[in-house]
Amino acid sequence: MSVDLSQFYEVFFEESFEGLDAMESELLGLEPGTPDNETINTIFRAAHSIKGGSGTFGFNSVSEFTHVIETLLDQIRDGRRLLTQHQIDLFLQSVDCMRDMLNCLRNNEEPDVELAQPLKLAFEKILNGDETPGDDEAPSDVTPATSTLDTHWHISLKPGIDILKTGNEPIFMLQEIAELGDAKIAIDVSLVPMLNAVEPDNLYLSWQIDLTSQCKEEDIAEIFDWIIDESEIEITQSSNLVDNKDDAGDRLPVETENTQDSKPENLTNASTESSAVVTPPPAPKKEATQSKATESSSIRVSIDKVDSLINMVGELVITQAMLTQLTDGEFDKSKLASIQEGMAQLAHNTRDLQESVMRIRMLPISFVFSRFPRLVRDTSKKLNKKINLVLRGENTELDKTVMEKISDPMVHLVRNSMDHGIEIPEERLATGKEETGTLTLNAYHQGGNVVVEIVDDGKGLNTDKIKSKAIENGLIKESDDLSEQQINELIFEPGFSTADEVSDLSGRGVGMDVVRRNIQALNGSVELQSVKGKGSTFTIRLPLTLAILDGQLIRVADHIYIIPLINIIESLQIDPSKVNNVGGEYDVLRLRDEYVPIIRLHQAFNHQADCSKLTEGLLVVVESDNGKVGIWVDELLGQQQVVIKSLEANYRKVDGISGATILGDGTVSLIIDIIGLVKLAGLRKAVRVNALAGKQDAGAR
């Protein structure tokens, strides 16, 4: 019987990437010297599983590379070697390298060994600098438990020779095994030396155990938790149906290393093999392999969410059964009330179910936050700055789609804060601050929004520099008198960068405007506060989900459109005396201190409008990417939450429209994309010019 191993690839990759993430986060917490055993063990275990897995699947380039890492880790773990900063850096680099290799393999490409080779050599150099022999790892594969019925287990237990010295007593383990089920235990005394050579502290015995029990493999493995590192333990399932020896290829070995304290092995025993015990892969993951899932097409859902979903479905079924019963057979009017009641319950159930399903898409923002410790570490090193990263509100939940799209803008903002915000240590000390700067990422819910703040305690924005740069780039004029806040916000203008030198961190001029555009594309907004010398804060506001938005229904002729409520600043009736026509191209309304260009929606969308005079309709003032725009419509209708449907799924992208939704009466209504509409109306430039003119005007007052 041969099984196509490739069906397990996806599980392997997913687990390996998780392992790499774990390694990375633990490595970041490491200090040179003799590190915490638990930490090293976690890293070791991750490396070990990747090695074992890649070996099984024949990804030799990965397993060979991991082997060197593992050997070094093992020596560090045993206290035979001190951990140096250089080694930590090498480990981190190798995490990146492994990630690249695994990504290549995942895409069915040959991994680039060029990258791995220098790292491998560096590791080998470290290893050869010392005479200590590396441990031989012998991964052994063992069948995962599959059945809850009585299973025959064969356990081969060969404890390490000095486990008695560490206070372990095999008798107790054997007793525990016997408690699991029907056990036949045979002792092997072949290794007991002549009496004169016996060291009373050493254990020379080994055992062969045949166990018939309902237990799972983990249960057996657990008993040996304390001695796994020093001992050879093999647990095999010898079912009556399957011959173990013949189907070795069927098995999916996943190796774990025990975490418990392993005392330094004495040198004569250094060549003793440490062996691995296998735990079966968790069942849900197996299913995941069947659909060739890519990274973004699968999500992990916590069990309580699934449970609540099952509850809802249960209730839905009950309600449905009730309704079926009511409408079955003869129908008379007396049942009408019960049916109405049932329908109300059905509506209630459906709404609950919808909410629960939506909740499944929500993931904690720690998925995004987790990449920042590494980023901050590497970047601060490159910049010679000392930066302490503080993460808050990591459990704030956010729609998966939003999460994927927010990650890049956040990286940009964090880099920006590190590059431009936080000062070098000398400068900080000179201004009476602590040497180490603090960068805080804070996420929380506010209203229907998720707010993410990026706070640094650096020098704040250099308003003078921004101003001179803006003048140089022609964004504003020398004579413009803008408030500090207005000047600071200029960094969101396209083509703006204040870095004195173009570094590879920031300063390529494709900066903040892209960030702002990306966030706005998610129906979000980004704000900035800065206090000179004290630091700056970027605040990103995002809708909880992309699937639902709060919309304002508007009417143009007999067409109903939806404007996202988050874009709307105000709605007003137009005072014709304040409207001017600019060069015959477009109208602007002077609204307090700003000039707002007017888009006539019926013109942009080619509809016949009811109203011909500006005064008859209403102006909805919205925020576009560059400034305010007025959208002139016939009438405002209600506000409601709408579920966004894709228009592109069956049609194609439509300019000025971001999607569609279905209204209460079953008709389709289209959702207006403000930025697209401004472009469609050919007012892109006008909006910016007027926004700046407004600021200038405001400053003049």
Partner 1 sequence: MNIDELNARLVESTVNEQDYFDEFQQYLTFLMNGEEYGVDILRVQEIRGWEKCTVIPNSSDYVRGVLNLRGTVVPVIDLRVRFGLANAEYSQITVVIVVKLRQDDKDKIMGLVVDAVSDVHALKRSQINVSPELGDNQNSEFIQGLGQVENKMLILLDLNNILD
Active site residues: 48, 70, 416
Q: Pick the stretch among 175-183, 442-450, 457-465, 654-662 that binds partner 1 (CB under 8 A).
A: 654-662
**Please, which residue, 107 or 650, has the CB nearer to partner 1?**
650
Q: What is the DSSP string of 201-240?
A: T----EEEEEEEES--HHHHHHHTTTTTTTSEEEEEE--S
Binding mask 293-332 for partner 1 (x = CB under 8 A): ----------------------------------------
Q: How far is the CB of 76 from partner 1 (least distance, A)?
A: 53
- Residue type present at position 314: G
User: How many whole angstroms separate alpha carbon 286 and alpha carbon 284?
Assistant: 5
Q: Pick the stretch among 151-159, 234-242, 248-256, 655-663 that binds partner 1 (CB under 8 A).
A: 655-663
Number of residues located near partner 1, criterion CB under 8 A: 24
Other Cβ atoms within 10 Å of 675 Cβ, number: 21
**Please, which residue, 557 or 569, has the CB nearer to partner 1?**
557
User: How many whole angstroms separate alpha carbon 165 and alpha carbon 160?
Assistant: 10
Q: How far is the CB of 347 from partner 1 (least distance, A)?
A: 16
Can residue 645 be called a binding residue for partner 1 (CB under 8 A)?
yes
Can residue 196 be called a binding residue for partner 1 (CB under 8 A)?
no
Can residue 631 be called a binding residue for partner 1 (CB under 8 A)?
no
**Please, which residue, 481 or 655, has the CB nearer to partner 1?**
655
User: How many whole angstroms separate alpha carbon 620 and alpha carbon 573?
Assistant: 9
Whether the CB-CB separation of 383 and 415 falls below 8 Å is answered with: no
**Please, which residue, 461 or 647, has the CB nearer to partner 1?**
647
Can residue 439 be called a binding residue for partner 1 (CB under 8 A)?
no
Q: What kind and span of H or E run contains 41?
A: helix 37-56
Within 571-610, the residues that bind partner 1 by CB under 8 A are 604-607
**Please, which residue, 175 or 641, has the CB nearer to partner 1?**
641
User: How many whole angstroms separate alpha carbon 358 and alpha carbon 305?
Assistant: 10
The residue with tokens 């003032």 is 621
Out of 655, 682, 685, 700, name the contact with partner 1 by CB under 8 A: 655
Whether the CB-CB separation of 501 and 507 falls below 8 Å is answered with: yes
Pairing of strands 628-633, 657-662: unpaired
**Please, which residue, 145 or 647, has the CB nearer to partner 1?**
647
User: How many whole angstroms separate alpha carbon 382 and alpha carbon 208?
Assistant: 57
Can residue 172 be called a binding residue for partner 1 (CB under 8 A)?
no
Can residue 662 be called a binding residue for partner 1 (CB under 8 A)?
yes
Q: How far is the CB of 431 from partner 1 (least distance, A)?
A: 56
Give how far Cα 244 sits from Cα of 56, 236, 241, Å: 17, 8, 9
What are the beta bridge partners of residue 552? Answer: 563, 639
CA angle 190, 196, 200 (to 5 degrees): 75
Within 529-568, the residues that bind partner 1 by CB under 8 A are 559
Per the document, the length of the chain is 701
User: How many whole angstroms separate alpha carbon 535 and alpha carbon 420?
Assistant: 10
In this structure, which long-range contacts are made by residues 510-513, counting pairs with CB atoms below 8 Å and at least 24 apart in sequence?
Answer: 511/412, 511/416, 512/412, 512/416
User: How many whole angstroms separate alpha carbon 175 and alpha carbon 556?
Assistant: 82
Q: How far is the CB of 677 from partner 1 (least distance, A)?
A: 10
Q: Pick the stretch among 106-114, 181-189, 332-340, 668-676 that binds partner 1 (CB under 8 A).
A: 668-676
User: How many whole angstroms separate alpha carbon 535 and alpha carbon 101?
Assistant: 40
Q: How far is the CB of 69 from partner 1 (least distance, A)?
A: 44
User: How many whole angstroms separate alpha carbon 208 and alpha carbon 451?
Assistant: 60
Within 674-693, the residues that bind partner 1 by CB under 8 A are 680
Q: How far is the CB of 680 from partner 1 (least distance, A)?
A: 8
Which among 254, 203, 195 is positioned nearest to 48, based on CA atoms? 254
Give the pair of three-digit tokens for residue 467: 């101003």
Can residue 666 be called a binding residue for partner 1 (CB under 8 A)?
yes
Question: Rg (Cα) of the chain, in Å, rounded?
Answer: 33
User: How many whole angstroms separate alpha carbon 70 and alpha carbon 276?
Assistant: 14
- Residue type present at position 239: S
The residue with tokens 């560096």 is 122
Q: How far is the CB of 667 from partner 1 (least distance, A)?
A: 6
Q: How far is the CB of 543 from partner 1 (least distance, A)?
A: 20
Q: How far is the CB of 468 from partner 1 (least distance, A)?
A: 43
Q: Pick the stretch among 239-247, 259-267, 305-313, 641-649 that binds partner 1 (CB under 8 A).
A: 641-649
Give the pair of three-digit tokens for residue 198: 């016996």
The dihedral over CA atoms of 149, 150, 153, 159, expressed in degrees to the nearest 10, equals 100
Q: Pick the stretch among 36-44, 386-394, 454-462, 648-656 that binds partner 1 (CB under 8 A).
A: 648-656
**Please, which residue, 105 or 660, has the CB nearer to partner 1?**
660
Out of 186, 241, 337, 649, name the contact with partner 1 by CB under 8 A: 649
Q: How far is the CB of 449 from partner 1 (least distance, A)?
A: 26
The residue with tokens 């007052």 is 701
Out of 159, 630, 656, 694, name the contact with partner 1 by CB under 8 A: 656
Whether the CB-CB separation of 484 and 520 falls below 8 Å is answered with: no
The residue with tokens 């639902």 is 548
Q: Pick the stretch among 156-164, 285-293, 409-417, 652-660 that binds partner 1 (CB under 8 A).
A: 652-660
**Please, which residue, 261 or 655, has the CB nearer to partner 1?**
655
**Please, which residue, 80 or 559, has the CB nearer to partner 1?**
559
Out of 243, 430, 646, 685, name the contact with partner 1 by CB under 8 A: 646
User: How many whole angstroms separate alpha carbon 408 and alpha carbon 410?
Assistant: 5
**Please, which residue, 535 or 659, has the CB nearer to partner 1?**
659
Q: Pick the stretch among 105-113, 461-469, 565-573, 640-648 that binds partner 1 (CB under 8 A).
A: 640-648
**Please, which residue, 443 or 601, has the CB nearer to partner 1?**
601
What are the beta bridge partners of residue 574? Answer: none
Q: How far is the CB of 650 from partner 1 (least distance, A)?
A: 5
Give the pair of three-digit tokens for residue 597: 């260009």
Out of 151, 416, 669, 690, name the contact with partner 1 by CB under 8 A: 669
**Please, which residue, 108 or 606, has the CB nearer to partner 1?**
606
Q: Pick the stretch among 16-24, 205-213, 422-430, 656-664 that binds partner 1 (CB under 8 A).
A: 656-664
User: Cα 215 from chain centroid?
Assistant: 36
Binding mask 132-151 for partner 1 (x = CB under 8 A): --------------------
Applying CB under 8 A, the residues found at the interface with partner 1 are 559, 604-607, 645-647, 649-652, 654-657, 660, 662, 666-670, 680
